[in-house]
Amino acid sequence: MAAGKVEGAAADPKAVAISLGRGELVPRRLLPVILARFPFVSEISSAPGLTLLTRLDYSTSGAVPAALTGEALSFLSREREQGRIRKVYFCVVAGRMRGKMVLSGRIESEGGETVRVRVDRADPDPGRWTTITPVLEGERCTLVRAEIVRGKRHQIRAHLAAAGFPVVGDRRYAAVPDEGPGKGRLLLHAGEVEFVHPETGERVRVVSPLPGEFRIT
């Protein structure tokens, strides 16, 4: 099962994608949702993230896939490590972006909550790069599409901030607007996730619609 539009989903899936909307943004709220709907996953994995296959930063909405069997968890974890779970995000950034960007700066963490982007040094692994495509340009902001292969913590947010286009509402890498969209939340949304069904081999694509705050004027 899945919340949101699912393309190619099998009738008896071994994985599920939960779509988090407004009011279900925080990862610590996601785990009780998973446990309430699928209590048996606690027997599959005792890790803090249970059987979740991707993670969302605090105050990020969107689709999150989770495995529902031990076999599915093993298979999809390998797929994730090899960069074969496709993840597409949408975000509103400050500024007018008019062309596609590939952000390759190496992300470094010194143990704190904030990461640093080395704009003078590209990450040797293209799987750690962020591809940004403008979708809709407004007067002061742009709705963009961000695609990553194997994400690092805060990758999209840090890459965009280092490139001069911080995500609106990002309290860690930019200023929060005094009013309007972004005042109450980070305008970052996991819009699509695509993976191979662990039993049928069929491609499953889950689409989570954009929340209303992402309207560009």
pLDDT band at 17, cuts 50/70/90? low
User: What does residue 158 show for φ and ψ, rounded to 5 degrees?
Assistant: -70, -40
Structure tokens at 181: 């969209």
Q: What is the pLDDT of residues 109-152, one digit of tens each?
A: 776 667 889 888 899 988 889 999 999 998 889 999 999 988 78
The helix/strand/coil state of 50 is coil
Is the entire prediction scored with pTM above 0.75? yes
Superfamily of domain 5-209: Pseudouridine synthase (3.30.2350.10)
The position carrying tokens 């191979």 is 196
Q: Which helix (H) or strand (E) holds 34?
A: helix 27-37
Question: How far, in Å, are 94, 135, 155, 169 from residue 181 at the CA level?
Answer: 11, 17, 22, 8
Integer-rounded Cα Rg, in Å, for the chain is 17
Structure tokens at 88: 């597409």
